[in-house]
């Protein structure tokens, strides 16, 4: 699946009142090779490239014959949630965490830095695409919970920001 195909799925979802869309591609023997989940109302897009030797990957319960399923009433996990007064910034996708744009460049942010809403916090590489992760709030970076080049999971907390 290419970026333009993902954009088509996003456009198709935006034209409806669906809150969640899951799409899966399978190869000739029924083995899942690609899966993407889109959730409206959140900046989350989770995609995975699945490579298995045997068709052991079970289809989602609501999957149709074509491998796509959609739900009009799902709960979407927000990428940033409030805990006490700190804001957790979670990974919106599965991938590799990069603290800076290049190995020889300073990290985007470190503990103690003040950030504005919309400031780039890090990059997460997913399927050879570099995704800039932006702060949703202004505040001070209190914690950086992952190291450069660590693999991250969807929903994993990356940063804690004090909005005060």
76, 90 contact by CB (below 8 A): no
Residues 148 and 86 in one domain: yes
141, 104 contact by CB (below 8 A): no
Number of domains comprising the chain? 2
Higher pLDDT, 139 or 61: 139
21, 66, 105, 123, 135 from 126: Cα distances, Å: 19, 24, 21, 10, 19
In angstroms, the CA 83 to CA 105 distance is 32
Residues 45 and 93 in one domain: no
Beta bridge partners of 141: 161
Domain limit, last residue, from 24, 40, 71: 71
Domain limit, last residue, from 41, 71, 101: 71
For 17, the domain range is 3-71
Residues 91 and 153 in one domain: yes
Please, what is the average pLDDT of the chain? 74
- Residue 5: DSSP 8-state: H
Is residue 56 scored above 50 in pLDDT? no
Residues 120 and 157 in one domain: yes
Residues 63 and 84 in one domain: no
pTM above 0.75, yes or no: no
């Amino acid at each position: 699946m290419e970026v333009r195909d993902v954009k088509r799925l996003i456009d198709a979802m935006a034209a409806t009142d669906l809150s969640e869309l899951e799409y899966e591609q399978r190869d000739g023997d029924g083995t899942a090779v690609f899966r993407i989940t889109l959730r409206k109302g959140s900046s989350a897009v989770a995609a995975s490239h699945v490579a298995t030797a045997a068709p052991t990957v079970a289809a989602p319960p609501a999957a149709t014959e074509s491998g796509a399923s959609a739900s009009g009433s799902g709960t979407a996990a927000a990428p940033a949630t409030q805990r006490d007064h700190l804001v957790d910034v979670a990974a919106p996708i599965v991938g590799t965490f990069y603290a800076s744009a290049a190995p020889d460049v300073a990290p985007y942010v470190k503990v103690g830095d003040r950030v504005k809403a919309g400031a780039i916090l890090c990059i997460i590489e997913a399927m050879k695409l570099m995704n800039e992760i932006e702060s949703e709030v202004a505040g001070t970076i209190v914690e950086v919970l992952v190291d450069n080049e660590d693999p991250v999971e969807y929903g994993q907390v990356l940063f804690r920001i004090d909005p005060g």
